[in-house]
Amino acid sequence: MVDERTDLPTAASDERDGATGTAAEAIADEVIDAAPAVEEPTTETVATEEPTTAVEEPTTETVATEEPTTAAEAIADEVIDAEPAVEEPTTETVATEGSTSPSEDEPIAESAAAEIVEAEPAPIVDGAPTAEPAEPAADEPPAEAPAPPEPAGPRTVGRFIADALRAAGVRYAFTVPGESFLGLLEGLQAAGIRVVATRHEGAAAFMAEAHGQLTGRPAAAIGTRGVGAANLAIGIHTARQDSSPMFVLVGQVERKFRGREAFQEIDQAATIGGLAAHAIELTAVADVPRLVGDAVRAALVGRPGPAFLSVPEDILDEELPAETQLDTSRPAPIRPEPEDVRAVLHFLAAAERPVIFAGGGVLRARTSTDLVRLAELLRVPVIAGWRRADVIPNDHPLYLGMAGYGSPSVVRERLERADAILVVGCRLSEISSFGYAIPAAGQAWMQIDVEPLEDRPGLPSATRSIRADARAFIRAAVARLQEAVLDAASADAREVINVTDRTAWEAATAPDATAWSGPGVHPAHAVAAVRRLIPDDAIVTTDAGNFGLWVARHFRFRRPGTFLGPTSGAMGYGLPAAIAASLVHRDRVVVAFAGDGGFAMTMAELETAVREKAKVIAIVFDNERYGTIRMHQDRRGGGAEGAIATDLGPVDFAAIARACGARGIRVETDSAFEQAVRQALANDRPTVIQVALDRGWVSPDQPFAAEA
């Protein structure tokens, strides 16, 4: 065995230590292969009708482990794709970590020796040893009827686009129908894509975005001309901010009328399309196959996002020749270089207070279980990006909370004290980074992302930026570490710090246990009651507003892939997102948290939920106010005169729910709230629980103070 440890001290460790006997020199670097690992070429393309990012999600998920002793070991959060098939099967094989790997609760071997000498790993393909068995999922995805056969002869452009969407993984399209895209609607139905009518295009876009965020598989949002495109805009922006795969198709005026200020005409690709990751208008039939293929790749390759297609009404009924082929091929996921894996392991193992800052890229890659294993092997804690709190189970002792709005001060303090931050699948948004304060100037950090933040203005330079798929990278790192021997003293020192930090976080996020008699419902008690009553695989969505601060502070997510929240901060998201989640997972509980301001913006979708039999539970915290904006007004010190346009009138949301065919309940006490949740869980239709929230509740960090 070749021992090349003398070549591998990291720059970061050299700068910190500078002498023998340091933490950096007391660890083994990693496996030094006698022969280079077999790496797949990164330029490989995969032609498939299935999305490479994800498969249809199973309804519940578990991990088979020898002795499940942590929350992470009791779940399997991701479905690992098998080799893509030309036609989607009704059931799908998933990958697992099985008997060939050490048991989940087995600690990494420790030694006082100055370095790790590792065995030779198996050849790495797709970032993991080829011998790795598949990780099981407890439930198969719902059986799905096979796609209708493609037409034998020529097909219309509308049908061709629909077939391309189906091949890219689209199973749902959300729309307010318009006369400008009737040929597309007919094509979608013929291609076996379910079309769901919504009450507003904004809600349709939210539903498509939530579907993509939840499953990793794109959905479509469709609107008509300039007016429909304008209404879709809020969901397009949200999909871009959330890096969610999504197709946006907007009917356009006939080509002969373009440029004449025709009815509802705008330059859709240049205006609303500017919010998307990719935007194009179809103008020539011959260009359709190429441009549609480009849109598929833009939505699904690298950092996912919304792809926008403006489609003139008259082009949809034109025909393409029978021999016209779909081109939805996509490059294989970006695999890590062995040297990058070595550098990251050095970086974390040499640090005294390292932290992994994990975001939505981990969830999209379906690699939360692998991330937990990496954290356990290195004894490095995990902090989640804003509104990605479900990235690993919150009950795991290495979980130290979610950054951003609603987080206790200990989360930011832990990030600030870190001497090494590994950013995985996180965009370091303004909110996640606490106003771009993390990472700070001079703070050591590395990033793993399909689209690293190498050119962002004002961002301190990373020690190393690695362009790679999160799952491939983490699995490659775990494969090396499972053969490793770490220095016991440094690992134990990190463990002591982790226990202290975890204890501080638990204390800071524990709901106030003091009995509350009013006025209204105690928001922390309400969040705690929901957590106690709903199953671990329930899906939670959140709208924008100060009510969400209590959800962020107190709700413990126990299963990855169970939280949908817009990092765009868009109001009106909660209910449409919950409807989309309920359509995907018919047998799972779905709860939407919202404030009265945000809920009112999309409450017309209650009728959609009833019509589609989406058994969502909407919890509306009602203080008759735009509470977040009022909080900012009060901070300016303007008093009553400064409170401009933020007080609202009463709305009987429970009655509106009943008028739409749902169930509606209004509650004003903690005990009534818990009873209402129990009733909603037993109900067979959508339920709205209108919660009386006194205006004295502003945030978890501000004690209740009744208004004068």
Specify the CATH number for the domain of residue 352: 3.40.50.1220
Q: How far apart are alpha carbons 327 and 52 in whole angstroms?
A: 15
Q: What is the pLDDT of residue 94?
A: 34
- In 3D space, the residue among 320, 188, 322 whose CA is nearest the CA of residue 247 turns out to be 188
Angle at 638 between CA 634 and CA 640, to 5 degrees: 80
Average pLDDT, the chain: 83
State whether 455 and 553 are in the same domain.
no
- Could you tell me if 238 and 346 lie in one domain? no
Same domain, 487 and 531: no
497 with 411, same domain? yes
Task: Please determine, for residue 98, whether its predicted confidence score (pLDDT) is greater than 80.
Answer: no
392 shares its domain with 498: yes
Considering only residues 149 and 531, tell me which one the structure prediction assigns the higher pLDDT: 531
Q: Per-residue pLDDT averaged across 666-675, rounded? A: 97
End of a domain among 331, 366, 381?
A: 331
Burial 639-667 (b: 16+ CB within 10 A, else e): eeeeeeebeeeebebbebbeebebbbbbb
DSSP 34: S
Average pLDDT over residues 518-542: 97
Q: Is residue 77 part of a domain?
A: no
What confidence tier does 333 reach under pLDDT thresholds 50, 70, 90?
Answer: confident
**HSE-up of 354 (CA within 13 Å, CB side)?**
30
Within a domain: residue 570? Answer: yes
Cα–Cα distance for residue pair 239/208, rounded to 1 Å: 9
pLDDT for 141 equals 44
| Among the listed residues 460, 418, 451, 411, the one whose alpha carbon sits nearest the alpha carbon of residue 432 | 411
Domains contained in the chain, number: 3
Please determine, for residue 13, whether its predicted confidence score (pLDDT) is greater than 60: no
Q: Is residue 126 part of a domain?
A: no
Q: Which residues pair with 691 in a beta bridge?
A: 621, 667
Domain boundary among 482, 509, 536: 509
Retrieve residue 653's tokens: 């949301």
Q: Are residues 238 and 249 in the same domain?
A: yes
d(CA 329, CA 51): 10
Residue 680 banded pLDDT, cuts 50, 70, 90? very high
For β-strands 45-46 and 330-331, DSSP reports them as: antiparallel
Please tell me whether residues 338 and 438 are part of one structural domain. yes
Q: 340 in a domain, yes or no? A: yes
For residue 308, being part of any structural domain is answered with yes
The SS3 call for residue 448 is: strand
Tell me if 28 is assigned to some domain: no
Strand 306-312 with 319-320, pairing: unpaired
- Beta strand residue intervals within 468-600, DSSP E: 486-487, 539-542, 563-564, 590-595
Is 15 within a domain? no
373 and 224 share a domain?
A: no
Q: Are residues 418 and 297 in the same domain?
A: no
540 lies in the same domain as 674: yes
Q: Which region among 152-156, 429-433, 532-536 has the lowest average model confidence (pLDDT)?
A: 152-156
What pLDDT score does 255 carry? 86
- Model confidence at 149, in pLDDT bands (50, 70, 90)? confident
Residues 595-615: pLDDT tens digits?
A: 999 999 999 999 999 999 999
User: Do the domain assignments include residue 19?
Assistant: no
Q: How far apart are CA 181 and CA 229, in angstroms?
A: 13
> Domain span at residue 359?
334-509
Average pLDDT over residues 454-481: 94
Task: Determine the pLDDT at residue 136.
Answer: 34
Domain closes at, from 316, 331, 346:
331
Shared-domain flag, residues 343 and 473: yes
Buried b / exposed e over 169-184, threshold 16 CB at 10 Å, is bbbbbbbbbbebbbbb
Provide φ and ψ at 362, rounded to 5°: -70, -40
**Could you give the C-alpha distances from 493 to 174, 214, 375, 421, 512, in angstroms and in order?**
52, 37, 15, 17, 32
Q: How confident is the model at residue 145 (pLDDT cuts 50, 70, 90)?
A: low
Question: For residue 78, what pLDDT is reported?
Answer: 39
- Look at residue 217 and tell me whether its pLDDT is greater than 90: yes
The verdict on 178 and 199 lying in the same domain is: yes
**Mean local confidence (pLDDT), 263-278:** 92
Contact criterion met (CB below 8 Å) for 566 and 617: no
Cβ partners under 8 Å of residue 602, min gap 6: 200, 202, 203, 206, 572, 573, 574, 575, 576
Please report, for the domain that includes residue 263, its CATH number.
3.40.50.970
Q: What are phi and psi of 671, to 5 degrees?
A: -65, -40
CB 264 within 8 A of CB 223: no
Question: Is the model's pLDDT at 632 over the cut of 50?
Answer: yes
User: Model confidence at 142, in pLDDT bands (50, 70, 90)?
Assistant: low
